[in-house]
Amino acid sequence: MKFKKKILCIGAGYVGGPSMAMIAYKCPDYRITVVDINPERIDAWNSSELPIYEPGLEQIVKKTRGKNLFFAKDIENQIKENDIIFVSVHTPTKTYGTGADMTADLQYWEKTARQILKYSRSSKIVIEKSTLPVKTALAMEKILSSAKSKFKFEVLSNPEFMAEGTAISDLENPDRVLIGSHETKNGLKARAELIKLYSHWVPKENIITSNIWSSELSKLVANAFLAQRVSSINSISALCEKTDADVSEVAKAVGMDKRIGDKFLKAGIGFGGSCFKKDILNLVYLCRFYDLKEVASYWENVVRINEYQQERFVSNILHSMFGTLAGKKICILGFAFKADTGDTRESPAIYISQKLLMEHAELIISDPKALKNAAVDLSGIKGKVKYIEDPYQAAAGCHALVILTDWDLYRKLDFHKIYKSMVKPAFIFDGRNIIDHKKCFSIGFNVHPVGKPALSHFKV
């Protein structure tokens, strides 16, 4: 079949894989190829066991793979072959040198730019899909125009707003698609090309355009605002615990105000995931760079409250269990940073598990999708850890259940059965406020939610 356009995506990760699968699914007249420097990742995308778990992804990949969606290893050749290149490589927080622990490590990004320049044999549109500090497109342009090439490269910004666990529905029905471009003739032409692509399924009014710098910054700001809401409600959860108010009731009352809205007001153990912290720190670094100290410290506190929430949670477990966890068995229910993903990057479960192990607790970790990643995250950490997928087996013989991920299956557990199999007094620390606390208390558990009064069988 003759395809109207040939599109390449460099980076076959959580964003590159699902977003390109959706483009292939919605644009059967376009050929999409995804490449990665990690050959095992490409093999996994070509196998029956995809490298990431995402509801609905497998169905879409099955419908498109081998027809107009291809996963390939020959990066050089694919750069030559394709007219439009999305770049979706990772941009983690830098761990060394200037800006360490704050700014984005752009080495993968820059390497990609150099590869595009080196192997291109025609002019191309290059699209930033990764999340990047403002003005990164400028660096990309400088690299792409550094050799006296007869080819022209037009750089666009098209940040991705999907969330893990809901990636497929987010990609299919995005609140908005943002395209940043230069207002030049070539910039507008490239922008029109990308609008044409998304118009295959996204309503015109949901496709918005801006200059490149606004587009780059909007992505950081969107994540910062979302994370800020989580930290705001978590900060209030601490006050609720001191005053016998209930954070869910407060969140409901506050969120019913249409100006505030009810989303992202669930108190818990704090936000995880590969992006919120990284993107806020990136924003903080940019503000410091431009000498906006007050702005930087405002946003930095969103991260600080997130850390505080996790510290508080661990300290609550320790004090509620009589000040010692040594030799006690604790069942961790959920290790993924949120439900419906196997991703554990920056999961609060990592920090909380480490702290519990430092108290010499024994951990039995359960998760329906994230046990492999959990084992990698905790490798090298001293202490006794077992990984058991079945929550009933994991809980048997434990002193406490600690719920760290909002998997739906934990809401539906038979807590009578679990209680019978545990050491008494049995505790539940519900870090996501997802189970029926009163019911568990009536079964015999001592129940410790976040931001609500504890339900304890001990007087005093």
Which chain residues interact with ligand NAD by CB under 6 A?
Answer: 10-16, 35-38, 41, 75, 88-91, 108, 111-112, 130-131, 160, 162, 164, 274-275
Cβ proximity to ligand NAD: between 338 and 452 the closer is 338
Least distance (Å) between residue 87 CB and ligand NAD: 9
The answer to whether 275 is a known catalytic residue is yes
Which of ligand NAD, ligand UGA, none does residue 450 bind (CB under 5 to 8 Å by kind)?
A: none
Structure tokens at 211: 């200059």
Nearest CA to 112 out of 102, 120, 123, 100 is that of: 120
Helix axis angle, 212-243 to 276-289, nearest 10°: 110
19 or 120, CB closer to ligand UGA? Answer: 19
Phi-psi sector, 425: left (phi>0), alpha (psi -120 to 50), beta: beta
As a whole number of angstroms, the distance between CA 392 and CA 394 comes to: 5
Residue 262: DSSP 8-state: S
Q: State the residue number with the nearest CB to ligand NAD.
A: 13
| Among 27, 275, 331, 440, the one annotated catalytic | 275
Query: Residue 319 Cβ, how far from ligand NAD at the closest point, in Å?
Result: 35
Query: Min. distance of Cβ 288 from ligand UGA in angstroms?
Result: 22
Integer Cα distance of 23 and 70 in angstroms: 12
198, interface contact from ligand NAD, ligand UGA, none, CB < 5-8 Å by kind: none
For residue 115, the minimal CB distance to ligand NAD (Å) is 6
- For residue 146, CA distances in Å to 106, 154, 237, 264 come to 18, 14, 53, 44
d(CA 341, CA 368) in angstroms, rounded, equals 9
- Which of ligand NAD, ligand UGA, none has residue 26 at its interface (CB below 5 to 8 Å by kind)? none
70 binds, among ligand NAD, ligand UGA, none (CB under 5 to 8 A by kind): none
Q: Which residue type, as a one-letter code, is found at position 201?
A: W
408 vs 435: CA distance, rounded Å: 10
Least separation in angstroms between residue 131's CB and ligand NAD is: 4
Q: What secondary structure letter does DSSP report for 290?
A: T
Cβ contacts of 158 within 8 Å, gap of 6 or more: 86, 127, 128, 129, 177, 178, 179, 180, 194, 215
Nearest to ligand UGA of 277, 328 (CB atom): 277
Cα three-residue angle 177-182-185, rounded to 5 degrees: 110
Q: 401: Cβ–Cβ under 8 A, 6 or more apart, which residues?
A: 330, 331, 333, 395, 418, 422, 426, 427, 428, 429, 445
Distance of CA 50 to the CA centre of its chain: 18
Q: Which does 266 bind (CB under 5 to 8 A by kind): ligand UGA, ligand NAD, none?
A: ligand UGA
Q: Give the N- to C-terminal CA distance of the chain in Å, as an integer.
A: 75
Q: Which is nearer to ligand NAD, 68 or 373 (CB)?
A: 373
Task: Among 22, 34, 162, 207, indicate the residue that binds ligand UGA (CB under 6 A).
Answer: 162
Binding-site partner at residue 264 among ligand NAD, ligand UGA, none, CB < 5 to 8 Å by type = ligand UGA
Distance in Å, CB of 226 to ligand UGA, minimum: 5
Residues 302-361 that bind ligand UGA (CB under 6 A): 337-338
Task: Please report how close the Cβ of residue 7 comes to ligand NAD at its closest, in angstroms.
Answer: 15
Give the integer Cα–Cα distance in Å for 253 and 126. Answer: 46
Backbone angles phi, psi at 335, to 5 degrees: -120, -20
Partner whose footprint covers residue 226, from ligand NAD, ligand UGA, none (CB < 5 to 8 Å by kind):
ligand UGA
272 binds, among ligand UGA, ligand NAD, none (CB under 5 to 8 A by kind): ligand UGA
CB of 90 to ligand NAD, least distance (A): 4
With CB under 5 to 8 Å by kind, the binding choice for 91 among ligand NAD, ligand UGA, none is: ligand NAD
DSSP letters, 293-343, are HHHHHHHHHHHHHHHHHHHHHHHHHHHHTTT--TT-EEEEE--SSSTT---
> What's the min distance (Å) between Cβ of 276 and ligand NAD?
10
3-state secondary structure of 142: helix
Binds ligand UGA by CB under 6 A, chosen from 131, 237, 248, 344: 131
**DSSP H or E stretch at residue 78:** helix 75-81
Binding flag, residue 278, ligand UGA (CB under 6 A): no
| Closest residue by Cα to residue 265 from 276, 274, 256 | 256
- In terms of CB distance, is 87 or 450 closer to ligand NAD? 87
Q: 164 or 300, CB closer to ligand UGA?
A: 164
Residue the block writes with tokens 């999340």: 131
Residues 215-274 that bind ligand UGA (CB under 6 A): 223, 226, 230, 264-266, 268, 271-273
Measured from the CB atom, the residue of 116 and 350 that comes closer to ligand UGA is 350
Kindly tell me which residue out of 161, 289, 392, 441 binds ligand UGA, with binding defined by CB under 6 A. Answer: 161
Q: Which residues are catalytic?
A: 275
Tell me which residues touch ligand UGA (CB under 6 A). 131, 160-164, 223, 226, 230, 264-266, 268, 271-273, 275-276, 337-338
